[in-house]
Chains A and B, each alone.
Chain A
Amino acid sequence: MVFSPELAETRFGCGLSPVVTPPRSAGDMLDGLADADDMAARFPIGTFDSYRDYLFEARKLQRAFNKDRQDKDKRAAFQQAKDRARQTDMQFSVNTLLRCTYSTTPFRERLVAFWSDHFTAYGKNNVMGTATTPYIEDAIRPRITGRFGDMLVAVTTHPLMLHYLDQDRSVGPDSKAALQKGGGLGLNENLAREVMELHTLGVGGPYAQDDVRQLAELFTGMGFSPAKGFVFRAAQAEPGAETLLGKSYGGNPARVEPIIDALHDLAVHPATARHIARKLAVYFVADTPPDELVDHLAARYADTGGDLMQVYAALLDHSAAWQEPRVNIKPPVDFIASAWRALAVDPDHAAQLPFNDLRRTLVQPLKLMGQPWQRPVGPDGWSELDEAWLTPQGVATRLRWAVSAPRTLRPDLPEPTAFVDQVLGPYATEPVRFAARAAESKSDAIGLILASPAFQRR
C-alpha cells in the first residue's frame, strides 16, 4: 500500500485542515479510533434518552392544545416546545460539523456518517422530527468500533427506528392485545423487511417474503414510550415461535431475547459480511470498487464475526484503498463539512450564528444540492453513485455556496494564495492557483478553491 497523509485526510477523513496535523500512518488512524472520543466530549450532542424530555413535554403540551385549539397560550406553549427542540437540534448539527472541523481522527466522523446512512432513520412528526442526531449519538457513535451485531441490536431496538419504520404500531394478529380489541390492530412488515434488505443480508440475500413475514411476527412487542424509552409489550407479541431462514426463534411466553438472538444471527450471516464489505468499499474508495478489496473486507468480517475495528484495519491495509486518482465525489454534507474544516470555523462563532444564518448556509443549500439534512427519500439512505451529485443544478449550487457561505462562517476570510496549499496540499493545480490570484474578491477566490474538483473529489 501507499499511505499518504493527505490522501488519508481526504479519502478517509474530512479533508485537509490548516490547523490539524494529518495522521502519519494507518496505525495512527486506528489508534485514534481506539482512543477516547474527544470530539464527543468537546462538542456535545445530547443522547436520545435526554431528548425524550422534549418529547415528553411536547406531547403533554400538544395534548393540552388539542383539547382546546382556540387557546392562544396553549398554542404558544406547544409552539415554543417545538422551537426549543428545533434549536437544540440545530446546535447538535453545528456540533456535528465542528467535530469534523477539529477532529484529529476524522475517520471516526466519516464512519459515524457511514453507519448513520446505513441505518437511516428519522422522526416523522413534530419533535420526533428533530431527534436524528441524538439517535446517532447513542445508538451508533459509541458502537462503530465494536461488533456489527451490537450496533444492529442497538439500532433495531431504538425508539427512533421503531418509529421510523412503523414497528411501534405493529401488533401480532393473534396477540392478546389484538384479540381483545377485536380488530384494528395487526402486523406491519416495514422494519422486518428493511432489516434484511438494507441493514443485513442485502436485497440479493437469501431470504423470501415468508422470512419477512416471520421476522415481522418475531418483532411484534417492540415499542417505546416517551417516558420509558424502549419497552417490550408481551401482550402485543404474536404467540408461538417464528422460523427465520430455517431456524426457529422464540416461543411462549414472548420475550425480547429471541429477537436479539435473531439479529445477532443475521449480523454474522455470510451475506451480511458481503453486503457490509461492499458498502464500505464503495463509500470510501469508488463506485465500483475492486473485487479483491471487497473480498478482503468480507473475509475479515467473516473471520472476526463482524468485529468492525478489524474490518477497518483490513480496509486501510489494502493497497486498493490507497489508489489514486481520487474518484469519489464528496456528497453535499461532506462537501460542506470539509469546507468548515478548511476554513477552521471558530467554535464560538459557530455557536453564536443566528438560526437564520444556519438555515441559509446549511439547511437550504443542502436541500438544493440534493441532500436535505438527515432526510433521504427512503430508508436506503443516500445514493452511493457520484453521478447523483454531479448534476448541473448540484454543481451550480455548490459553486454558489462556496463563494457566498464562507464569509458568514468565517468573517475574516483567509488569504487565498495560502489557503490553496493549506486545503488542497499536493492536489492543488495551476488553474486553481491562478483563479485564487485572479478572482475579483476574496470570497470569489475562496469559493473557487472550495468548488474546484481537487477539493470536491476524495
Chain B
Amino acid sequence: MTPALSRRAFLSRSALLGCSLAASPLLTPVSYAAAPWDTRLVVIILRGAMDGLDVVRPYGDPSYAALRGVIGGGPESGALDLDGYFALHPALEPLMPLWQSQQLGFFNAVSTPYRDKRSHFDGQDILEAGTDGRSGGHDGWLNRMLTRVPGVEARTAFAIGYGEMKVLSGPAPKSDWSPDANLALSPQAVRLAEMVMEEDPAFHAALSEAMLLSGDGAAGLGMAGEDGAGEMMGGTAMNARAPAGGAHVKVAQFAAEQLRGDTRVISFSINGWDTHSRQDRAIRPALGRLSDTILTLQNGVGPEVWQKTAVVAMTEFGRTARVNGTGGTDHGTGGVMVMAGGALRGGRVYGDWPGLDEASLYQRRDLMPTRDVRAPAAWMMRAMAGLDRAALEQVVFPGLELGGDPGLLL
C-alpha cells in the first residue's frame, strides 16, 4: 500500500467487494460505484407484536374507552393528541417535534396476510419474507428488492446487530455487522486466522467481512473503536463502558454512519413488544428504544441526509382489542406501522380506520386489517428506487395487490 492511500480510504474502496472469495481485497483494484439512488430506507422490525392500539390510541372511537380503560386513554390521560381522533402514547413524547414538522406518521390497521394462528415466529417469518404466507422460502423482501435495482454493492444494504435479519437475507449482496464486534488482533493472528478459515468458505466469507469492517475500517466506522469493544475480552473495559443509552443507540449511530455514506438500505430489530401482562409498564422500555432510535438516526445522519431518509417500523401483528385478564393484551391481527424521516409526508395517520365496535373487529377480537402492510412498504420502494408495479407485486411481495398510492414520500 502506498503511503498516499490511507488505510481508511483504501478500505472503504475495497469494502465494495463485500465477501467475495475469489478476489482478495488487498490485491484487486475495484472501480468505485456510486450508490444507485439517493433516498435512504431504514426498516425496523419490532419483534414481539407491538400493540398499535396503545401506541396510536384511537381515543375518538366510541368503543375505545370500554375496550382499553385500564391501559390507555386519550389526551385526558396524558396521551399526546395527534389529530383530534388519535393520540400518541405518552412515552413517545420525544417524537412530537417530528410529528409537528410532518416527519412522523403512522399507517393504521395494517397486517401481513398471516391469519389466525398468531404465532410470533411464523408472523415474523412472513413479515420478513414478504410473502402471502403460503409461498416463499428464506429470502427476505428487502433483499429481493435489491435484486431488482442496478448498481447494488455489498455496502448498499446493511443488517445490523447480533440477531438474525431474515428480511435482508437472500442472493443480493449485503453486509452484516454489529458496531461492537471489532477484531483487535495482531496482524499476524489475523493472517493465520484467514488461512485457517480458508478451507471453509462460509467461515472465510464471514471473517473477510469482519476484517473489512473492523477497527477504523470501512465506510467510516471510526465510532466503533471508541466503545472499548477492542478490549472486550482482554481487559475490563467491556464491563466498565456500557454505551450511553444502550445497545439500540449504538446500532442507530452505526446505521446513521452508513447512511451518510453509500448505504441506502438498513435493517435491524427492536425487541420487547410482547406485553401480555401489565402493559402500562411493560411497553414503555420498548417505546423508549423506538424513540431513541429514531432520534439518534435523525441526529446521526445530519439535516441534509435526514431530508432523504425514510424510516419504517413494522411488527408481525397487532394485539387484541380488549385488555386481557392480566392488564395486558394477547396476540391479535391488525396493527400499526410507524414511519419517520425527512423524506416522509408525515404529520398524518394513514390507513382506513375500521372501527372498534364488536362487529367491526376481526373475529370479534382484533383490529380488522384494512390494508396489507406490504403495500405501504412497496409504495415507498417505488418512490425511492423506481421499482415497477410488476416487480413489486410479483417479485418483492409475491401476491400483493398494490392498490392506490398513499403518497407516503415527498
Contacts and interface: CB of A to CB of B under 8 A. Distances in A.
Contacts of A190: 276, 330
Main secondary structure of the interface of B (DSSP, over half): loop
Interface in A178-214: 178, 184-190, 193, 197, 203, 208-209, 212
Contacts of A388: 164
B31 interface: no
A169 B326 contact: yes
Interface residues of A, number: 67
A186 B277 CA distance: 11
A133 B47 CA distance: 26
A209 B181 contact: no
Contacts of B164: 383, 385, 387-388
A197 B122 CA distance: 10
B180 A394 contact: no
B206 interface: yes
A405 interface: yes
A189 B330 contact: yes
Contact of A377 (B116, B271, B327, B330): B271
Contact of A169 (B48, B121, B325): B325
B326 A400 contact: no
Contact of B207 (A383, A399, A404): A399
A396 B197 CA distance: 12
B196 A392 contact: no
B195 A359 contact: no
Nearest to A165: B276
B276 A188 contact: yes
B203 A453 contact: yes
A138 interface: no
Contacts of A323: none
B192 A444 contact: yes
B162 A447 contact: no
Given A190-B276, A209-B363, A392-B210, A368 B195 contact: no
A287 to B, nearest CB: 10
A395 B210 contact: yes
A2 interface: no
A388 B117 CA distance: 25
Interface stretch (B33-41, B182-190, B386-394): B182-190
Interface stretch (B52-60, B232-240, B289-297): B232-240
A280 interface: no
Contact of B274 (A184, A356, A378, A394): A378
Interface residues of B, number: 61
A135 interface: no
A365 B324 CA distance: 38
A169 B238 CA distance: 38
Contact of A399 (B180, B193, B198, B324): B193
Given A188-B276, A390-B206, A435 B328 contact: no
Contacts of A439: 188-189, 192
Contact of A395 (B163, B206, B330): B206
B181 A170 contact: no
Interface in B90-144: 116-122
Contacts of B193: 399, 435, 448, 451
Contacts of A401: 233
A400 B163 contact: no
B345 interface: no
B255 interface: no
A434 interface: yes
B330 A394 contact: no
A356 B235 CA distance: 10
7 contacts: A188-B324, A360-B239, A377-B271, A390-B202, A393-B178, A394-B206, A395-B206
